[in-house]
């Protein structure tokens, strides 16, 4: 089944305060969308033939109308109803059961370290690691599809293999390592939070090997093909469905196009690369910090 996705940021409120938060200060000027605004976005999605909705934020589970919004998505016959969450509130099994019975079938929790010393430091929230892990365990217990996301930063890149070990132990269905997008809070902290991709790669490849050896679907995001020799199948951009994003005050008609044309960038030397047509390049802020020396056009596959 081909997915046609709509991504709705239903609240900017959050119980974490991540050092890499791409939403930056949005929580200070817009708390959440109203129930009727979200329902309208859901109906518009159906009109444009979307079959998949991602409720995201901020932390979507903090929206007071979340359960009703999931029920509405189900009523409108969305096949895939996903929560992109930090997972903390899912440590409460009774709340998670309500989420599942309302119709959500995929949970995408964010895990940024294999231990509290790393995860809680990045989220600036005590006990967030324990709650996120409990949320993952609960989601698996209820038979929900669990696909995790880990943001790669200078604080956790050496920990990626340990994170992969933990995720395989928890039997998640899919995991993704996304290179930090240097906007929002990450832009403010860019002097220390962004690692060099070439330093990250040995740890990232080890982490992918751990997941692949256990038959888990593993992906990376914002790591171009020239870093991914032998791991090209893990490049997430190939499988991320295009679709609209309903953001705080803007509606992005097609986030995939935005990402390829504005968010990311390629260098003129990229024209020599065999992946030029399918590669999106790095987020454009990365070469502003580290330049283009690490990016080496691939001449043969
Ligand atoms: S097109 Fe450029 S960024 Fe993409 S893989 Fe090739 S050299 Fe790397």
Question: What are 280's two structure tokens?
Answer: 């999106």
Ligand 1 atom nearest to 296, measured from its CA: 7
* pLDDT beneath 70, residues of the chain: 1, 247-251
Between the CA of 261 and the centroid of ligand 1 the distance, in Å, is: 15
CA 34 to the chain's CA centroid: 24
Question: Residue 189 phi/psi, 5° resolution?
Answer: -105, 20
Cβ neighbors of 47 (< 8 A, separation 6 or more) are none
**Ligand 1 pocket: which residues have CB below 6 Å?**
224-226, 266, 270, 273, 275-276, 279, 281, 295, 297-298
Span from the CA of 283 to the centroid of ligand 1 (angstroms):
12
**Count of Cβ atoms closer than 10 Å to residue 288 Cβ:** 11
| Element (DSSP H or E) covering residue 56 | strand 52-57
Q: Are 207 and 160 in contact (CB under 8 A)?
A: yes
CA separation for the pair 111, 181 (Å, rounded): 16
pLDDT at 250 (0 to 100):
65
CA distance 127 to 144: 23
- Cα–Cα distance list, 292 to 41, 267, 285 (Å): 39, 7, 11
245 CA to centre of ligand 1 in angstroms: 26
**132 neighbors 158 (Cβ within 8 angstroms):** no
- The DSSP H or E segment spanning 118 is helix 116-123
CA of 233 to the centre of ligand 1 (A): 15
pLDDT in tens, 57-72: 899 999 999 999 999 9
The residues pairing with 145 across neighbouring beta strands, listed in sequence order, are 106
Q: Please name each of the domains of the chain with its CATH number.
A: 5-261 (3.20.20.70)
> How many other CB atoms are found less than 10 A from the CB of residue 279?
22
Provide the whole-model pTM. 0.94
Cα(142)–Cα(257) distance, rounded to whole angstroms?
36
Ligand 1 center to 263 CA (angstroms):
15
Which residue's CA is minimally distant from atom 8 of ligand 1?
226
Spatial CA neighbour of 84 closest among 99, 97, 94, 72: 99
Helices (H), the chain: 26-29, 35-47, 66-75, 93-102, 116-123, 128-141, 160-169, 184-188, 190-193, 197-213, 255-258, 285-290
pLDDT value of residue 244 = 75
How much is the pLDDT for 256?
75
* Bridging pattern class, strands 245-246 and 251-252: antiparallel
């Amino acid at each position: 089944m081909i997915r046609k996705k709509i991504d709705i940021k239903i609240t900017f409120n959050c119980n974490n305060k991540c050092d890499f938060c791409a939403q930056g200060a949005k929580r200070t000027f817009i708390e959440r969308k109203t129930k009727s605004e979200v329902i309208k976005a859901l109906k518009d999605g159906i009109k444009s033939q979307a079959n998949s909705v991602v409720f995201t934020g901020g932390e979507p589970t903090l929206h007071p109308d979340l359960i009703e919004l999931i029920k509405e998505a189900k009523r409108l016959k969305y096949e895939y109803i996903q929560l992109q969450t930090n997972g903390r509130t899912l440590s409460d099994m009774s709340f998670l059961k309500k989420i599942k019975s309302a119709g959500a079938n995929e949970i995408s929790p964010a895990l940024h370290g294999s231990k509290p010393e790393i995860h809680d430091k990045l989220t600036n929230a005590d006990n967030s690691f324990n709650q996120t892990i409990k949320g993952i365990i609960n989601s698996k217990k209820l038979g929900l599809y669990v696909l995790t996301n880990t943001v790669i930063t200078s604080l956790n890149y050496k920990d990626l293999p340990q994170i992969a070990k933990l995720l395989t132990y928890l039997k998640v269905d899919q995991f993704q390592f996304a290179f930090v997008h240097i906007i929002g809070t990450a832009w403010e902290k860019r002097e220390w939070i962004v690692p060099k991709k070439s330093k990250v790669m040995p740890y990232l490849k080890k982490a992918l090997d751990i997941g692949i050896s256990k038959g888990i679907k593993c992906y990376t995001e914002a790591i171009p093909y020239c870093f991914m020799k032998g791991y090209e199948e893990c490049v997430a951009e190939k499988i991320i469905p295009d679709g609209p994003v309903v953001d705080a005050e803007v509606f992005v008609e097609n986030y995939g196009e935005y990402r390829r044309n504005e968010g990311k960038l390629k260098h003129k030397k990229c024209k020599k690369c065999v992946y030029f047509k399918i590669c999106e390049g790095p987020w454009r802020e990365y070469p502003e910090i580290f330049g283009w020396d690490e990016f080496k056009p691939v001449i043969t596959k």
